[in-house]
Structures are given as structure tokens and as C-alpha cells.
Amino acid sequence: MALDEKPIYPRGYMILTLRCNLKCRMCNYMVPYLHDPWHPSLVELTDAFDKLLQIADYETFDFSGGEIFLRKDLAEFLRFVHRYIDNIKNSISIVTNCTIPLEDDLLDSILCFGNKIRVILDNYGDLSPHFQDIHDRLFAKGIRIDVHNYTGESQYCGGWTDRCFNPDINDTRNKDFECLGGASPHIPYLAGKVGFCAPSILLKMLYGIDYQESNFFNLNDEELTLEQKREKCGRILLQKQCAACKHHTPLNGEDKQRFSAAEQLTKEEIELIRKRKLEPDEIYAMTRKGIK
């Protein structure tokens, strides 16, 4: 592909922070178990987004965390994203756990996108005290809302799937399957890296595991040309799984058991995590307590 032939990818995905004010035992990104959750500067995020948009345009682009409402500069970041609105063909989305109020400045930045933005509200009942207020204010302005209700017996998608990391690859299935990355091809960004999926990048952060995937790359690597980055992204979009999947329970497979969402770690467990870096098998044992 010539450099002037800018590709259009189906989906871009950026994690804006790994900080979160919930301590979910079975967190997909294992955030409560991180000693120093990644929380980049606004400059780092805007620079990364600009580089991702140099590589390609996107049909959709999703922004997630952690809990992105913890970012005091989220409104400013969204205004920066709006400069590229013509490069995102369909829509962008943001997601919140509704634990933090919707500030007026953030609401104004959301309104700039009109019908080209979708706000996903994860409702965890008592853990999401601002759900109704956020919902009503967005609804009154005509903003598209998706509610993921994780309360009571009838939870969104039946509850959470078990996607916690297993340090023992001998206990996991190595059959063919489509995980989230393979089932929904996308270009994810986390902590300066682009790879098959955010969890595979997180494995290195949490466990120190580095699979040296050939298609993973540092977005700021000046030795990689724009064309080389596009070639790697093209291969990422064709992948169905990666080496990290050996430590990861598949999203789609024989075992589709669901679990009640957002069970919180106990105060004693949180204190233990803060005292020292837990071994992989200790973290795994803690996540298993969510399986009743």
C-alpha cells in the first residue's frame, strides 16, 4: 500500500487510564492487583491518538479504562479527539462505571460530537450512585446511551465471563477458539504499545510476561516507518489469538459460564495487595474466590 493510501480499520481502542475506584475481584484488566496503575499525561494521550490517526482512519473508536471519569482532563482530551472527527467514519464511544458525577465541562465536550458519540453506562447498583443522574442528563440532551445493567438476576450478557489470567498454562484449554480480540478485530493502544489486545499487553505489566509478539510494536518507535506500522496493524487485524491466550480463559468457547459482576475485594485483601507484590498464583487464587 502506498503511503498516500490511508487504510480504514474497523475499530480503534484506547485505554485512557488503569486507575479505578472499584476493586472488582474478577476485573478483566486485573486493575486492583496493579501496584502503580498506568495513568498517562494528557500530552501522552493526545500524542498517541494523533499517531494512531496517522496510521489509519477508523470506522469506530472506543475509549475505556480503568474508570475514565477519574481523569480531570477528560473533557480536554475529548475536545482534542473532536478535531479528528472526520477520520472516524461512524462513531466513538466512552464508558463509565457511574461512580463519579458528570461534570458540566465534560457534558459540553460530549455534546460536541452530536450523534457521533455513544456513552456506555455500566450500572452496578449501589456501586454506581450517579447512574440515574448521568443517564437522565445525557438522555435530555439526546446523546446515545447504552446501559449495561449488572444488578439483580437479569444482568447484561448474563453477567461477567471468567477472563482472569491463569499463570499455569497446563490448566487452560489450548483448543481453537475466538477470544475477544479475534472475534472483534481492532487496534488497541495501552501504555505506549499497540498489540493484539489490551490484556496481552497487561500481562507484561502485571506478571512480567513478554511474548515478543512480532506484530506488537511501540507506537513511539522512530525506527519503524509509517508503512511498517500499517503492515503490523494489518496482521493484527487478521489474528484470531496470540500467545497470551494460553493464560486467558476464552470469551467464546465451550465454557461460557457467567458470574455476578463487580464483586469487590475485601479490605484485608486490598491491604495485602498494597503491602507487597503478589505472586501470579496468589493473584489467581484471589480471582477464583469470585466463582461460587
User: Is residue 175 included in any domain, yes or no?
Assistant: yes
Assign residue 224 the CATH number of its domain. Answer: 3.20.20.70
Assess whether pLDDT exceeds 70 at residue 177: no
Residue 47 CB partners (closer than 8 Å, separation 6+): none
Q: Is residue 188 a contact partner of residue 289, using CB atoms and an 8 Å limit?
A: no
Q: How far is Cα 69 from Cα 96, in angstroms, rounded to an integer?
A: 7
Q: Which residue has the higher pLDDT, 152 or 246?
A: 152
Max mean pLDDT among 26-40, 96-110, 270-284 falls in 96-110
Task: Give the count of domains, the chain.
Answer: 1
Least confident of 90-104, 184-198, 234-248, 265-279: 234-248
Least confident of 12-16, 221-225, 248-252: 248-252
Q: Which residue has the higher pLDDT, 76 or 245?
A: 76
User: Is residue 36 included in any domain, yes or no?
Assistant: yes
User: Is residue 236 included in any domain, yes or no?
Assistant: yes
Assess whether pLDDT exceeds 80 at residue 162: no
Q: Which residue has the higher pLDDT, 243 or 260?
A: 260
User: Is residue 174 included in any domain, yes or no?
Assistant: yes
Which residue range is the domain that position 149 belongs to? Answer: 8-251+260-288
pLDDT band, very low/low/confident/very high, at 198 (cuts 50, 70, 90): confident
Average pLDDT over residues 168-182: 55
User: Is residue 1 included in any domain, yes or no?
Assistant: no
Assess whether pLDDT exceeds 50 at residue 52: yes
